[in-house]
Amino acid sequence: MSDKQHASSSRRGAHARPSAPASQLAPAQPGAFRPAAAQTGAYARENYGSAARAKRGGGVWRVVFIVAIIVFVIAASALAFIGYGYWHGQQNNKELAATGFNPPDTAQLERTDLASFTVDWDALRAINPETIGWIYIPGTTINLPIVHTDDDAHYLKTDFYGETNWAVSFGAIFLSAENAADFSDANNIVYGHHMNDGSMFSPIADFEDPDTFNARRTVYIFTPSGNYRLTTFSLVHCAADDPLAQTVFASEQERAAYVQDKVDRSVVSVEGLPSATDMNHTFTLATCDNSAQNGRWVLFAYVAEQTAGAAVPAGATSIVNPEDVAAVDEAAKETAA
């Protein structure tokens, strides 16, 4: 090579870019950026484990969600069923009041003679042949028929119409099986449920307040044979196993001691009561205390007035006063003369 050619070649070499290695100039091949085989296996295992764990986690939450939905549906259905039970019971009680006894307003009630109050016994007995009476406490929701049977447990679940409801048991107001059905015993025990909607015998619990007790001391018991006007004298709070359910007594002294015990145990102080001896015909109204386990509220009342058609009082041989008969005879003689 000549010097001139060498110089020219040198100039071109000086300005030329260095050549890249063949490996860099080769076009990228498919999979050229994948990890090596060993790395690929580890990568796959790692990502498969993450996906599997995610899948398992999603499955667990899906099960939890489904269970929660099922529980919600069951709870909502139960609440709806309970709500319907209360509504149905309230409607039944309203229907009974409209059928049996529609009380007058307060002013008229005070002017009405006890014998003038009437109940449609035929209509009630057409619904329930075991109807024996009606209880009404002015100023409360207590305005219901009384039934009687030889099994006290029956009307705990069965209502006046003979219906039962496992979710809401209104039952019925019933006279103790130990009592005579004509209310002639010295002490007559009447039971009723304490419902959460304030119906049946629930208002009795409100009598714990002295103002409420004193404002609602009159109780009416109507029967096919006559009517009673009662006056309350005691409210006792006790346990379910308290021996309050006594209907007959061996002697007048035992009966009077029973009444005096209830006066002494009353949670409300009552002034101006007759003596225990004079309160010789009593009624006991019992219900549960929903705020205490196995607790009971028991309201006691004595007969202040009864109509001529009522049962014969204890110790008497007739409901007719002999002096009244003599007076009528004398008046008849004078008229004839």
- Whether 230 maps to a domain, the answer reads yes
| Residue 88: exposure state from Cβ atoms within 10 A (0-12, 13-18, ≥19) | middle
Q: Which member of 148, 194, 281, 288 is catalytic?
A: 288
How far apart CA 91 and CA 163 sit, in angstroms, is: 13
Q: What is the pLDDT of residue 44?
A: 53
Q: Which member of 88, 148, 193, 237 is catalytic?
A: 193
- Whether 49 maps to a domain, the answer reads no
193 is catalytic: yes
Q: What is the pLDDT of residue 178?
A: 96
Per-residue model confidence as pLDDT tens digits over 18-71: 454 444 444 444 444 445 555 555 555 555 556 555 565 567 777 777 878 887
Per-residue model confidence as pLDDT tens digits over 276-319: 999 999 999 999 997 777 899 999 999 999 995 544 444 433 33
Tokens encoding 76:
């909502």
State the total domains in the chain.
1
In sign, the C-alpha dihedral spanning 67, 71, 74, 77 is negative
- Whether 137 maps to a domain, the answer reads yes
Q: What is the pLDDT of residue 53?
A: 58
- Whether 303 maps to a domain, the answer reads yes
55 Cβ partners below 8 Å, 6+ apart?
Answer: none
- Whether 7 maps to a domain, the answer reads no
- Whether 202 maps to a domain, the answer reads yes
* Domain enclosing residue 96, as ranges: 81-328
- Whether 51 maps to a domain, the answer reads no
Count CB-CB contacts under 10 A for residue 10.
Answer: 9
Count CB-CB contacts under 10 A for residue 23.
Answer: 6
288 is catalytic: yes
- Whether 150 maps to a domain, the answer reads yes
Q: Which residues of the chain, if any, have pLDDT below 70?
A: 1-58, 75-89, 166-167, 308-337
Q: What is the pLDDT of residue 83?
A: 62
Count CB-CB contacts under 10 A for residue 209.
Answer: 12
CATH of the domain at 144: 2.40.260.10
Q: What is the pLDDT of residue 39?
A: 57
